[in-house]
Amino acid sequence: MDNVEVISSEVLPPRTVSRARRNQLKHLAKGLCEFCGKPPVTKRHCAKCRERVNRLRREAHRRKHPLKRKAKNMEAEFETLVLRLKRRLEASDLPESNAESLAIYLHHGVIPGSFMRALIENNLVHAAMCADHRNKHYLFEWASFLYNHMPSDAWGSAEKVLAYAKGKQSK
């Protein structure tokens, strides 16, 4: 068996394993940390090296799956927006049933139904005609809510509403 190096009962052909990897295998054979040679906390690594390896694995996973993380963050942002709108509507004595359609418009740019669209387009007559039995009594409160709590570029005219929706949908 000439030209064969024996390391910890492993038979390896020469020059197929780097010097750094040979040192790692020697450390493992002695029961030490694979990288630094200190006593291990886990099977292969000391505490410091274990943290480093875990961090590198997390970063590699995030690079491979960036959309999952982004989707989770967007879902959390959306749920937070819905809850915040519900609290504001409740404080303004407005029905909470419109909070989700308003949140979908603000977060994703999807234009809501006829009543909410008439409201955000600042069309009072059409809003009064499209309002259901709960909202027809709250037109003044809705106007106050839009003025005080909605972003100014998200309501006011049909052109502003379409521009806001296009801007949100393009992101």
Residue spans of beta strands (DSSP E) within the chain: 5-7, 10-12
Looking at residue 114, what is its pLDDT?
Answer: 94
Q: Is 10 helix (H, G, I), strand (E, B) or coil?
A: strand
Tally the domains of the chain: 2
Q: Note the pTM of the prediction, 2 decimals.
A: 0.57
pLDDT attached to residue 92 = 87
Q: List Cα–Cα distances, 42 to 26, 55, 59, 157, in angstroms.
A: 17, 16, 21, 63
In a domain, 41, yes or no: yes
Supply the DSSP symbol for 39: P
pLDDT for 88-100, tens place per residue?
988 888 888 888 8
Q: How confident is the model at residue 162 (pLDDT cuts 50, 70, 90)?
A: very high
- pLDDT confidence of residue 71: 63
Helices 66-91 and 99-108 pack at an angle, to 10 degrees, of: 140
| Separation CA 149–CA 144 (nearest Å) | 8
Domain span including residue 22: 5-64
Distance CA 72, CA 67 (A): 8
How much is the pLDDT for 1? 47
98 in the same domain as 159: yes
Q: Is the pLDDT of residue 157 over 50?
A: yes
Same domain, 106 and 165: yes
Q: Are 105 and 157 part of one and the same domain?
A: yes
CB-based contact 48:73 (threshold 8 Å):
no
Bridge partners, residue 6, by sequence: 11
Which tens digits make up the pLDDT trace of 5-28? 555 555 555 667 888 888 888 898
126 inside domain:
yes
Helix (H, G, I), strand (E, B) or coil at 12: strand
pLDDT tens-digit readout, 38-86: 999 988 999 999 988 888 888 887 777 766 666 677 788 888 888 889 8
Cα separation, 70 vs 119, whole angstroms: 32
pLDDT of 143: 92
Q: What is the pLDDT of residue 12?
A: 56
Q: What is the mean pLDDT of residues 138-167?
A: 93
